[in-house]
Amino acid sequence: MDSQSAALLRRLNPFCAQALEAAASLCQTRAHAEIQPEHWLLKLLEQGEGDITVIAR
């Protein structure tokens, strides 16, 4: 992990950090080279607990 990624993770709240980790796992499972915003958004929506879910409705 580079220093920019580590800095981002430190700034995220636990909800967003967990979604980002799940997005990384999804990318590994599907052999994607990098995490795209759509991977993260998918995991945020799947959690169903955050503001993004309310906004999306």
At 25-36, the pLDDT tens digits run: 999 999 999 999
Whether the model pTM is above 0.85:
no
Residue 44's nearest CA partner among 54, 33, 31, 34 is: 54
Task: For residue 31, give the 3-state DSSP assignment.
Answer: coil
How far, in Å, CA of 45 to CA of 30, rounded? Answer: 19
Mean pLDDT computed over 33-43: 94
Q: Please check whether residue 44 is in contact with residue 16, taking contact to mean a CB–CB distance below 8 angstroms.
A: yes
- Check whether 2 has a pLDDT greater than 90: no
Domain count, the chain: 1
The secondary structure of residue 1, as a DSSP letter, is -
Tokens matching residue 11 = 């700034």
Task: For residue 34, give the 3-state DSSP assignment.
Answer: coil
Which residues form the domain of 29? Answer: 3-56
